[in-house]
Structure 1
Amino acid sequence: MTINAHQQWLVDFYKHRNWYQYSPFVHVAILTEEVGEVSRAVRTNEIGRDHPGEKTATTAEKRANLKEELADTLDLVLVLSSLYDIDAQDLLKASEKKLTARFKGEK
């Protein structure tokens, strides 16, 4: 699946669930929550949780959780870009263009 196909799939899914109608502010709030979950997953992978109320996760479980949270974050970015009629592929091109121009001449 291409990133553009996934973006369209997300839009259709969000519309079906009646989530797409929310304002960008709501989607940013959800994105912020997801970024926090990525932070927690990275911490768990790097230094652990050391929380008496939680079972110790296996390496595979920690990695799976990180993957899930990164995917959730990516999905919210793609939904937000769609709300502003920004093509997902254009996000990748903009990133490469910006970094290439910023660090021109470096190898």
Structure 2
Amino acid sequence: MEISQHKTWITDFYQKRGWLQLSSSRRLNFLVEEVGELSQAIRKYEIGRDHPGDEVTTTQQDHDHIIEELADVLDEVLILCEKYNIDMDELTKHSETKLVNRFVTD
């Protein structure tokens, strides 16, 4: 599935559950929460358990957890794009243009 197809799918999924109409500030809170969970997943992958009570997991499970949390972050970004009518191609083009203008000197 391409990113634009997933954006349509996730938007429909949220709409059917009444989640799409939540305010942008609430959506931003969800994004921050997901970024925090991603941070924890990466920390666990990089340094292992950081509390003796943490469940022992395999490297593959830790890697899969990073994928899960990255997907959650992506979904929150896609919903914010939907709320502000931002096309994913426009978003990626803006990113590339900004980086080229900032860092490419030749």
TM category, shorter: over 0.9
Report the counterpart of residue 84 of structure 1 in structure 2. 84
SS at match of 1:50: coil
1:5-84 map, 5 Å: 5-84=5-84
Cα root mean square deviation, aligned: 1.1
TM-score, normalised on structure 1? Answer: 0.94
* Residue 95 (structure 1) shift: 0.6
Amino acid at match of 2:32: T
SS at match of 2:21: coil
Structure 1 runs of 4+ off > 4 angstroms?
none
Q: Aligned residues, how many?
A: 106
Gaps of 5+ in 2: none
Report the Cα distance in structure 2 between the residues aligned to 1:90 and 1:76, rounded to whole angstroms.
17
Amino acid at match of 1:103: F
* Residue 52 (structure 1) shift: 2.2
Report the Cα distance in structure 2 between the residues aligned to 1:23 and 1:30, rounded to whole angstroms.
11
* Residue 51 (structure 1) shift: 1.7
Report the Cα distance in structure 1 between the residues aligned to 2:14 and 2:89, rounded to whole angstroms.
20
- Aligned residues of 1:31 and 1:76 also touching (Cα < 8 A): yes
SS at match of 2:101: helix
TM-score, normalised on structure 2? Answer: 0.94
SS at match of 1:19: coil
SS at match of 2:52: coil
Amino acid at match of 1:73: V
- Aligned residues of 1:3 and 1:89 also touching (Cα < 8 A): no
